[in-house]
Structure 1
Amino acid sequence: MKTDISAPSYYTSGSIETWDFIIDKHLDFLEGNIVKYVVRWKEKNGVEDLKKARVYLDKLIKEAEKVGDGS
């Protein structure tokens, strides 16, 4: 089943759509959300999106430190 999803300009203004980049780079949920919020912040929710990205980044850092990936 294919759903018609509108592609807002804040996700498609570059040469690749944000979700295609996330998939291509095999980013996990936290990483994907960081990219999503940073990509759209200027055109959608401003600084609020940067704050959301920071929440996901802080969580990613905590998880990386748990498994010793905090190089």
Structure 2
Amino acid sequence: MSDAIRPSHYDVGVEGEVECLAAIKTATKGLSGLEAYTTGACIKYLWRWKRKNGVEDLRKTVEYIERLIQDLEENENGN
């Protein structure tokens, strides 16, 4: 199924038998706030990079990973 709400690059068939949204839901269980958001964004961009925006989506993944690392480091240091 492909439409504006659920584009084909998120379909189950893209990566096998798991839908992107289901993978994000599972991976972010127990997370909240920025941790949940950035983790979900990383999964989304990795999931679709080959079928949508190529290197641009890989760069977005790196950006979100860096944001998550920065936030975790700031929280460890009490900032």
CA distance in 2, matches of 1:56, 1:46: 16
**Aligned residue pairs, count:** 64
Q: What is the TM-score of this pair, normalised by structure 1?
A: 0.78
Are 1:51 and 2:50 counterparts?
Answer: no
Q: Percent identity?
A: 38
CA distance in 1, matches of 2:6, 2:42: 21
Gaps of 5+ in 1: none
Higher relative contact order (CA 8 A, sep 6+): 1
Q: RMSD of aligned C-alpha atoms?
A: 1.7
- Post-superposition, which runs of at least 4 consecutive aligned residues in structure 1 deviate over 6 A? none
- Which residue of structure 2 aligns with residue 11 of structure 1? 10
Gaps of 5+ in 2: none
Are 1:23 and 2:31 counterparts?
Answer: no
